[in-house]
Amino acid sequence: MPDRNELRKAGLKVTLPRVKILEILDSSDNRHLSAEDIYRRLLEVGEDIGLATVYRVLNQFEAAGLVVKHDFEGDKSVFELDSGEHHDHMVDIDSGEVMEFFSEEMEQLQHDLCEQRGYELADHTMVLYVRKKKA
Amino acid sequence: MPDRNELRKAGLKVTLPRVKILEILDSSDNRHLSAEDIYRRLLEVGEDIGLATVYRVLNQFEAAGLVVKHDFEGDKSVFELDSGEHHDHMVDIDSGEVMEFFSEEMEQLQHDLCEQRGYELADHTMVLYVRKKKA
DNA sequence: ATGAATGCAAAAACTTTGCATGACG
DNA sequence: CGTCATGCAAAGTTTTTGCATTCAT
């Protein structure tokens, strides 16, 4: 039961809502889910967990470093399991599909741009909004 | 009266709220203001303009390309006058200061990363969260 | 004059919180 | 058992909308 250990390692009590939410984040095809998405899937699976709890649990997961929270749309946040490997995102503006990518060159460049100005890079967000090229 | 012409060029009727909001955006030291910020400054200057109007006007300005809307914080949006020159942002996480910068190399790299994957870059958001380097 | 813009208050959308109840260790 | 987590409903935030009134052209 890997999920349970993840929770214990994070110092979180192993409760049914937390386990179920972790399962959903882990098993979903779409790696990026909103609180509402998760809530709906819980209901579908017959778990009667409140939306408020979903929010609370997700926030705890974020604080514990288990998930990362993104604001791609500005209005609604989405959460993804933290794989440990940093990456950025590309969003297909037609389909809404979210893709992940990593570019060492990009990371380096961001770092350098900050250094040049006397700052150190603490964190960054980058989303490329793209469209499939016509063949 | 440059403001009035900007409005006419954008196909917007020249009304007092629109002129005043444009003035505030133009004269503020802080280039990045929230709707609430603008609303507050309007009251300070004695203009009795409703918050709903501020939102409506800002949205029209965005649609007209006069301002750009950003979601640096996820909860509250900020608006800045569109200077015409694209740039990205660096936010000092200690002071909250927002700095603008532009890197041709960065733009090129973003473009290439999309092309490599068969997409064309339509738009992007990038915010570097930084901290002043200790001397 | 006439269609568009504004103000106000109400609603919407998302998220957080208070409090009584129930579950984990 | 004591404490922490949950559920529900209520409240909080930010932003949008309906409608009567006012304003720009």
Sheet bearing A78-81, strands edge to edge: A33-34, A78-81, A67-70
Mean pLDDT for the stretch of residues A84-97: 91
Strand D closer than 7 A to residue B78 Cβ: no
| Secondary-structure breakdown of chain B: helix, strand, coil percentages, each rounded to the nearest 5 | 40, 25, 35
Q: Report the pLDDT value the prediction gives residue B2, as an integer from 0 to 100.
A: 65
- Among B residues 9-48, those touching chain A with beta carbons less than 8 Å apart: none
A135: confidence class by pLDDT, cuts 50, 70, 90: confident
Query: What is residue B119's three-state secondary structure?
Result: strand
What is the Cα–Cα distance from B22 to A43, expressed in whole angstroms? 48
Mean per-residue pLDDT, B77-99: 92
- Minimum distance, in Å, between the CA of residue A67 and any CA atom of chain B: 17
Average pLDDT over residues A8-27: 96
Distance B79 CA to C12 C1' (A): 22
pLDDT at B1: 59
Residue numbers of B between 63 and 122 with CB closer than 8 Å to A:
71, 74, 77, 90, 92-93, 99, 101, 103, 105-106, 109-110, 113-115, 117-122
pLDDT in tens, A24-54: 999 999 999 999 999 999 999 999 999 999 9
Those nucleotides of strand C lying less than 7 Å from any protein Cβ are 4-10, 13-18, 23-25
Average pLDDT of the residues in A63-92: 93
Whether residues A119 and B101 touch (CB distance < 8 A) is answered with no
Q: In the structure, how far is the CA atom of residue B108 from the C1' atom of nucleotide D3, in angstroms?
A: 56
Residue B135 pLDDT more than 80?
no
Per-residue pLDDT at A2 exceeds 80 = no
pLDDT band at B113 (very low <50, low <70, confident <90, very high): very high
Q: Could A105 and B109 be called an inter-chain contact, meaning their C-beta atoms sit closer than 8 Å?
A: yes
Return the axis-axis angle of helices A35-44 and A16-27, rounded to nearest 10°.
100
d(C-alpha B21, C-alpha B133), whole Å: 37
B contacts of A133 (beta carbons < 8 Å): 115, 118-120
CB-CB neighbours of A67 under 10 Å: 22
Token digits of residue B64: 């007209």
pTM: 0.90
Do B124 and A125 make contact, defined as CB atoms within 8 angstroms?
no
Helices (H), B10-91: 16-27, 35-44, 51-64
pLDDT at A1: 61
Do the chains contact at B106 and A103, CB–CB below 8 Å?
no
Asked if the model's pLDDT at residue B59 lies above 70, the reply is yes
CA–CA gap between residue A56 and residue A22 (Å, rounded) = 13
Lowest mean pLDDT among A29-43, B92-106, B108-122: B92-106
For residue B116, give the chain A residue with the closest CA: A133
User: Do the chains contact at A113 and B103, CB–CB below 8 Å?
Assistant: yes
* Among B97, B18, B65, CA closest to A118: B97
Tokens of A46: 């017959």
Helix locations, B1-135, DSSP H: 2-9, 16-27, 35-44, 51-64, 104-116
User: pLDDT by residue (tens digit) across B9-40?
Assistant: 999 999 999 999 999 999 999 999 999 999 99
Nucleotide nearest to B53 (CA to C1'): C6
| Mean pLDDT in residue range B36-49 | 96
Report H helices in chain A.
2-9, 16-27, 35-44, 51-63, 104-116
Return all residues near A51 (Cβ < 8 A) that are at least 6 apart.
Answer: A35, A36, A39
Strand pairing report for A33-34 and B33-34: unpaired
> How many angstroms separate the CA atoms of A92 and B103, rounded?
24
